[in-house]
Amino acid sequence: MPYQGSCHCGAVAFTVTADLPAEVYECNCSICRRKGLLLTFVPATAFTLDSGEASLGRYRFYKHRITHRFCTTCGTEPFAEGEQNGQPMRAVNIRCVPAADLAAIPRKAVNGAAF
């Protein structure tokens, strides 16, 4: 069932045409640990930005493979853009999805600090 998410101030809103993930990735890389991101990866075709493109900033680091998108008003990072297996991908921050029960979704540790 599709689910929706947003940044804190509501300027950025999105819909993902997929079921809520059975598990999320908790990564220890330099940005995930600071932002507390809990991520699930979906094909870009399953991700619709409903509003907020004008409010979204971009942040890249390291190899610039991931474009972190954050709301320039409230600072929330609802998603990031990248590629997976050569296809456009969106990394959705499940913390920005109110329907997700954060305490119930298992977290899979990713050693991103070693990549």
By the criterion CB under 5 A, which residues form the site for Zn ion? 7, 9, 11, 71, 73-74
* Residue closer to Zn ion (CB basis): 27 or 56: 56
> CB neighbours (10 Å) of residue 26?
17
The distance of closest approach from Cβ of residue 97 to Zn ion in the complex, given in angstroms and rounded to an integer, is 15
The distance of closest approach from Cβ of residue 10 to Zn ion in the complex, given in angstroms and rounded to an integer, is 6
Give, in degrees to the nearest 5, the angle at Cα 6 between 34 and 56.
Answer: 70
The distance of closest approach from Cβ of residue 58 to Zn ion in the complex, given in angstroms and rounded to an integer, is 15
Q: Which helix (H) or strand (E) holds 2?
A: none
Give CA 23 to chain center in angstroms.
14
* Residue closer to Zn ion (CB basis): 21 or 78: 78
